[in-house]
């Protein structure tokens, strides 16, 4: 995005995308330690922080980007969404059932929406838009009856978002359920608020106020307030990643602001930057590694080889058994595979970084 770069921004984005690769690539989904899984429904785990942190970073980057015209912003959004649809369709490209919602599609929508909102007024207006999105979403999800008269619900298949997703997207929903989607259309509205809150943090960092210490204090204070508000709201409107509830937005944006504030203070205020360099390598090629790692994981799962008992197994299962399964217990072997993915992709990204090769969208 040609930012007037902060080391901390690249590093925090890199930490986030590396964590995303870690949780997306276990050796065996049946053997995953709980912090590396999403919460089953209400509640949260460390894994549930990753996606909203990334959207927060998308918003933060906007004030540091050179001014982009609508045509370029639209093109960027369409490219990101197109990559997401390609990942969903690969390798069969069954357009009748391909999943339309997804991580990259949501990022594309949130980026374009935040780009447009940034051109409406200043930070106060942007904050009001975020509040309206969050309160409006809460009201519809908890106070408005479903079409047909059913009472409001926060259950997986009977909430307002799932109802609209089934009618608008039909067979193009998450294949695990086919009745609701964790990146559904309606829950993208509060996800836009997550991006706006990141944009407000970026505006704060770009403000003319003197001193990195003061900006750090602002990030830490705002982060604590938002996280506490999210926890408090969560008592009546539960923190839920799949629904992207308003309490989840405040809680995760608060944690993102607070943790980024610490990274910013260490790296950009105090000048301790050496530890950031490996993470910055991830951050500069975040979309590339997300797409490439997802396609590799799908390919390894689809290729079949003959297993130890003569039964066909995936190439990933064969490699997992040969590399880690023969000497580690199942949970440790699954984690070791995920860590090996981190090492592999860091080596690739480091080689690309040395050559100045980045996927620009």
Main-chain dihedrals φ then ψ at residue 50, nearest 5 degrees: -70, -50
Question: Which stretch of DSSP H or E encloses residue 97?
Answer: none
Q: How confident is the model at residue 5 (pLDDT cuts 50, 70, 90)?
A: low
DSSP 106-126: HHHHHHHHHHHHHTSS-HHHH
Hunting for tokens 């969050």 — which residue is that?
134
Per the DSSP assignment, residues forming a β-bridge with 304 are: 314
83-89 average pLDDT score:
95
Contacts of 17 (CB under 8 A, 6+ apart): 54, 282, 283, 286, 289, 290
Write out the two tokens for 148: 């047909």
- Span 219-278, pLDDT tens digits: 999 999 999 999 999 999 999 999 999 999 999 999 999 999 999 999 999 989 999 999
Quick: pLDDT tens for 19-46: 999 999 999 999 999 999 999 999 999 9
Helix (H) or strand (E) holding 183: none
pTM of the shown model: 0.94
Examine the pLDDT at 3 and tell me if it is beyond 50. no
Residue 278 CA to residue 270 CA, distance in Å, equals: 18
Query: Which tens digits make up the pLDDT trace of 315-325?
Result: 999 999 999 99
Give the whole-angstrom CA distance, residue 196 versus residue 117: 8
User: What is the arithmetic mean of pLDDT over 287-314?
Assistant: 91
Beta bridge partners of 166: none
pLDDT at 223: 98
């Amino acid at each position: 995005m040609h930012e007037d770069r902060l080391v901390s921004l690249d590093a925090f984005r890199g930490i986030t995308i590396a964590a995303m690769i870690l949780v997306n690539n276990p050796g065996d989904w049946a053997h995953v330690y709980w912090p590396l899984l999403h919460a089953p429904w209400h509640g949260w785990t460390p894994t549930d922080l990753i996606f909203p942190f990334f959207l927060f970073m998308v918003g933060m980057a906007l004030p540091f980007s050179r001014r982009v015209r609508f045509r370029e912003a639209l093109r960027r959004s369409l490219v990101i969404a197109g990559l997401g649809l390609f990942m969903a369709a690969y390798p069969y490209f069954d357009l009748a059932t391909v999943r339309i919602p997804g991580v990259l599609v949501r990022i594309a929508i949130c980026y374009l929406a935040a780009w447009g909102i940034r051109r409406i007024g200043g930070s106060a207006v942007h904050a009001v838009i975020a509040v309206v999105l969050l309160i409006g979403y809460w009201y519809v999800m908890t106070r408005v009856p479903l079409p047909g008269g059913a009472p409001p619900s926060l259950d997986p298949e009977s909430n307002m978002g799932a109802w609209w997703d089934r009618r608008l997207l039909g067979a193009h929903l998450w294949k695990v359920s086919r009745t609701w989607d964790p990146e559904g259309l309606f829950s993208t509205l509060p996800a836009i608020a997550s991006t706006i809150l990141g944009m407000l943090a970026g505006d704060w960092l770009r403000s003319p106020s003197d001193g990195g210490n003061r900006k750090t204090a602002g990030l830490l204070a705002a982060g604590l307030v938002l996280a506490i508000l999210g926890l408090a709201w969560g008592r009546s409107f539960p923190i839920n990643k799949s629904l992207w509830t308003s309490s989840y937005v405040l809680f995760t944006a608060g944690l993102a602001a607070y943790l980024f504030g610490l990274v910013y203070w260490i790296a950009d205020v105090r000048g301790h930057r050496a530890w950031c360099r490996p993470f910055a390598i991830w951050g500069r090629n975040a979309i590339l590694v997300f797409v490439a790692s997802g396609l590799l994981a799908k390919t390894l799962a689809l290729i079949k080889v003959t297993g130890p008992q003569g039964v066909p197994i995936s190439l990933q299962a064969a490699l997992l058994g040969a590399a880690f399964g023969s000497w580690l217990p199942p949970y440790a072997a699954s984690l070791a595979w995920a860590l090996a993915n981190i090492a592999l992709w860091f080596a690739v990204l480091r080689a690309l970084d040395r050559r100045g090769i980045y996927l620009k969208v």
